Amino acid sequence: MSKLSLEDARSIVRAALDHAATIDAKPLTVAVLDDGGHLVMLERQDGASALRPEVAQAKAATAINLGKSSRAIAEDAAARPTFVSALSALAGGRVLPAAGGFAFRNTKGDVAGAIGITGDTSDRDEECAIAGAKAAGFSPDL
């Protein structure tokens, strides 16, 4: 396991939101979890709706708890909806099958944490998450 610092999480969030500004994204909410699935940082931009923090955390938790991106889980849900629904129930609702959440690795190749973003389309959420992780020196685990 690898320790994710608060400063790392801040860098990821800032870079993701900076990228969002360059593509004129809708107001986003970004959640960063450590490798154990615990919230390290959450930021909700002005204008983001009230449920967005839970959605962002669920996207990140999906990736850290299931070992694949929330986009991959969405693809699984299309093929096996009953199974993914059961996973969500087992996880207390913290499985969200929509792009925008993935684990990221440090320079040693260890999973350091996960990011989840929501507020725009799932593809744009994921684009911002990728930009944030890469700018902070992490590799997205897509």
Q: Quick check: is 53 in a domain?
A: yes
% of the chain residues with pLDDT over 90? 97
Distance CA 125, CA 131 (A): 10
- pLDDT at position 109, please? 96
Q: Quick check: is 83 in a domain?
A: yes
57's enclosing H/E stretch is helix 52-66
What is the total count of domains within the chain? 1
CB 104 within 8 A of CB 31: no
Does position 1 have pLDDT exceeding 50, yes or no? Answer: no
What integer best gives the mean pLDDT of the chain? 97
Using one digit for the tens of pLDDT, what is the confidence trace for 100-142? 999 999 999 999 999 999 999 999 999 999 999 999 999 999 9
Q: Quick check: is 90 in a domain?
A: yes
Mean pLDDT over residues 69-91, rounded?
Answer: 96
Q: Quick check: is 57 in a domain?
A: yes
Q: Quick check: is 107 in a domain?
A: yes
Assign 67 to helix, strand or coil: coil
Distance from the first to the final alpha carbon of the chain: 19
pTM across the whole model: 0.95
% of the chain residues with pLDDT over 70? 99
* DSSP result, 75-131: HHHHH-HHHHHHHHHHTTT----SSSEEEEE-TTS-EEEEEEEESS-HHHHHHHHHH
Q: 37-62 burial, b if ≥16 CB within 10 A, otherwise e?
A: beebbbbbbeebeeebbbbbbbbbbb
- pLDDT at position 2, please? 59
Distance CA 101, CA 7 (A): 20
Structural domain range at position 67: 6-141
Mean pLDDT over residues 17-27, rounded?
Answer: 99
Q: Quick check: is 66 in a domain?
A: yes
Q: Quick check: is 110 in a domain?
A: yes
CATH number at residue 20: 3.30.450.150
